Chain A
Amino acid sequence: MYPLNNVLFTITGQTEGWELFINSLVPMLTGTIKATIPLAIISFIIGLIIALLTAMMRISKSPFLTIPATFYVSAIRGTPLLVQLFIIFYGMPTLDITFDPYPAAIIAFSLNVGAYASEIIRGSILSIPKGQWEAAATIGMTKTMALRRIILPQATRVSVPPLSNTFISLVKDTSLASQILVVELFRKSQEIAAVTYDFLLLYVEAALIYWVICFILSMIQSRLEKRLERYTAR
């Protein structure tokens, strides 16, 4: 058996591979905690609010609501996230609208999540049987009451698995923010690699950290699903 250090030596060509791994862990985790995770969480929350509004607009019968909502979803889903980030961060200053990297990233990610999640929310609202709306109406509820008390709680259960996927994708997509100068996990690894030339070691290390986060998120997801399924027959 080769000790880990030897393996890392063969990968990196450096005796201090293991040491570098440990030493770079601190700045990379700092980037994760300071940027990657808050970026993902804040964008996801704002994105969900946008998504709910967009979903309601698309379900409504008024073309004044459905057309802008459909346009928004189509524009976001039809263009690459990286290009959206570039338009907001590098493009908008041409119009004298300037954002710092971090807010620019939050805007881009929120809009992105908003479009994808709105389709999920719309689908899960439409999946609730019409009889539930009617039952709510017959006990005197207005549409808003019915949505809040009866439909959304059931739609939430339906949408947890696909929304979890969206969130996990978002966590990984935050690495794109490195391209607009947000110092998050991946940018940290790039910065260290630029000095040490240990590209393989550092990028694999970054990959591992993303993987661990997503693994934890999947576990939370299955717990959440179990909790929300307590009132359904199996």
Chain B
Amino acid sequence: MYLSVTGLAKQFGDLQVLKDINFSIEKGQVISIIGPSGSGKTTLLRCLNALEIPDNGIFQFEDGFTLDFTKKQKKQDLLRLRRKSGMVFQSYNLFPHKTAIENVMEGPLIVQKRDRKEVLNLAKSLLKKVGLEDKINLYPYQLSGGQQQRVGIARALAMEPELMLFDEPTSALDPELVGEVLKVIKDLAKDNWTMVIVTHEIQFAYQVSDKVVFMDGGYIVEQGTPDEVIKNPQVDRTKQFLHRILNPA
């Protein structure tokens, strides 16, 4: 088991966004988190790299690293947690003052302080992997949404994280650009990356995932294989949600 999460809880003011979340991630596993807006799925993802600090819960990694959020955390531990994962944002969040390749190089060069030549080659190969080898010197504003998001993926991969987190990576895209981003994520799944994906693309979640988690109201309502959760849901709330999302009209 790569990571086990137990008793995760998070509150914003009076609003309890996550209530006693328990789940685990295996190495090389692709997990999709689905559910209605406001169900807590994005918050769950953001807790995994401490963009939100959980109020409660324990993270246990297979390498023995443990974070107990019932106690006060050291800054050092939060940084260590964060450096285990890479994140892809709904709104890309590329650095607008840097070109595509500079965006990808920034982490390895500045944070990991690796050799510039080596990093340049790494960045080139990653941008090639996401199909942007001819766009490396363009600034974000010169790229389409789909291209920006693929740079965002390459930027996260460049840190060679153990875990990749995707926060609704296609929600801000024009429908015709969704495919190119999903294809890149599928390729990563084939390469055995460990990934957690928050998504509204049920069809995609079904195809790419090893495990699907359905959340509602701050709880995990149902989790299991795509066939179990998407094709054959057991809980009424899951059935309702899937019915509505698969038959929108």
Contact = CB atoms under 8 A, between A and B. Distances in A.
A67 B206 CA distance: 54
Contact of B159 (A139, A149, A154, A231): A139
Interface stretch (B78-86, B121-129, B187-195): B78-86
Contacts of A232: 96, 141
B1 interface: no
Contacts of A65: none
B91 A150 contact: no
Nearest to A145: B110
Contacts of A141: 107, 110-111
Contacts of B89: 131, 134-135
Nearest to B86: A138
Nearest to A157: B97
A5 interface: no
A137 to B, nearest CB: 6
A157 B51 CA distance: 27
Interface residues of B, number: 29
Interface centre among A137, A140, A141, A157 (most CB of B within 10 A): A140
Contacts of A132: 93, 95
Contact of A145 (B86, B111, B155): B111
Contacts of B18: none
Given A141-B110, A142-B79, A135 B95 contact: yes
Interface string B87-115: 10101011111100000001100111000
Interface residues of A: mostly helix, strand, loop or mixed? Answer: helix
A142 B85 CA distance: 15
Size category of the binding interface on chain A: 20 to 34
Interface in A145-167: 145, 149-150, 153-154, 157
Given A140-B111, A145-B111, A149-B106, A231 B85 contact: no
Nearest to B90: A131
A195 interface: no
Nearest to B87: A138
B49 interface: yes
A228 to B, nearest CB: 9
A138 B85 contact: yes
Nearest to A230: B139
Contact of A231 (B49, B107, B111, B141): B141
A216 interface: no
A233 interface: yes
Given A131-B93, A154-B96, A233-B141, A139 B107 contact: yes
B93 A135 contact: yes
A139 B51 contact: no
Nearest to B108: A139
Interface in A88-139: 129, 131-132, 134-139
B96 A137 contact: no
30 contacts: A129-B93, A131-B89, A134-B51, A135-B87, A135-B89, A135-B93, A138-B49, A138-B51, A138-B82, A138-B85, A138-B86, A138-B87, A139-B107, A139-B155, A139-B159, A140-B83, A140-B107, A140-B111, A140-B159, A141-B107, A141-B110, A145-B110, A150-B95, A153-B97, A154-B96, A157-B97, A231-B96, A231-B139, A231-B140, A232-B96
Interface of B: 49, 51, 79, 82-83, 85-87, 89, 91, 93-98, 106-107, 110-112, 139-142, 155-156, 158-159
